[in-house]
Amino acid sequence: MNRPWLLWIPLAVVAFIGGLAMYGLAVPKDEQVHSAMIGQKLPAFSLPAATAGVEGLASGDMAEGKPRLLNIFASWCLPCKAEAPYLEALKKAGIEIDAIAIRDRPEDVAAFLSEFGNPFRRIGSDSEMAVQLKLGSSGVPETYVIGGDGTILYQHIGDIRAEHVPMLIEKVNAAK
């Protein structure tokens, strides 16, 4: 063997693969699918009212100059119930919140609102999840910060907890 260093190559390859495996174990995996729509305008859509007494939601309704939150929720979704008090707190802080109800029935949405309160200005009904797909949203609940011109500025995946409230208020105010 005139090139003994060649013998080390297989070991180096195995060590590299082993190192990757260790890295994969050590670094927590991000299971969330983030929207790639951040920084872009809201896709054009127009959704009918999700329940009687609250107007439906069109993309144009969120481009009227005032930054706001867009909450993606469903009456059948447990974490959506958990985040209801924090949406109420956001509303009390003077933030306008629009919503899209995913795969929901009017009577279920009505029951949800009467039990947990209604922090929403408008609620569109996305029964086939078509608008959710256009938004790059991967589940419920999700909350988007929408700029006054209808630009998607931020996506919060999962339920809003107490610690997220100041951050969301700051992001909406920063968009003014």
Partner 1 sequence: MRMLALICLMLATPVFAQGSGPTPALANRQLPDPAQEAAATKLMHSLRCIQCQGQSIADSDAHMASTMRAEVRQQIAAGQKPEAIRGWMIARYGEWVSFEPDMKGAGLLLWLTPLLVLIAGIWLARGLFRRSA
Asked if 44 interacts with partner 1 (CB under 8 A), we say no
Asked if 41 interacts with partner 1 (CB under 8 A), we say no
Secondary structure (3-state) at 71 = strand
Asked if 31 interacts with partner 1 (CB under 8 A), we say yes
d(CA 81, CA 78): 5
d(CA 38, CA 40): 5
Stretch 134-163 residues interacting with partner 1 (CB under 8 A) = 134-136, 138-139
Looking at beta carbons only, is 90 or 150 nearer to partner 1? 150
Pairing relationship of beta strands 68-73 and 97-102 according to DSSP bridges: parallel
Interface size with partner 1, residues (CB under 8 A): 30
Asked if 29 interacts with partner 1 (CB under 8 A), we say no
Asked if 115 interacts with partner 1 (CB under 8 A), we say no
Secondary structure (3-state) at 73 = strand
Asked if 11 interacts with partner 1 (CB under 8 A), we say no
* C-beta of residue 45 within 8 angstroms of C-beta of residue 59: yes
Looking at beta carbons only, is 69 or 135 nearer to partner 1? 135
Stretch 58-77 residues interacting with partner 1 (CB under 8 A) = 74-77
Other CB atoms within 10 Å distance of the CB of residue 43:
14
Residue 100, class by beta-carbon neighbours within 10 Å (0-12 exposed, 13-18 middle, 19+ buried)? buried
Looking at beta carbons only, is 33 or 44 nearer to partner 1? 33
Q: Which residues bind partner 1 (CB under 8 A)?
A: 3, 6, 9, 31, 33-37, 74-78, 102-105, 108, 127-130, 132-136, 138-139
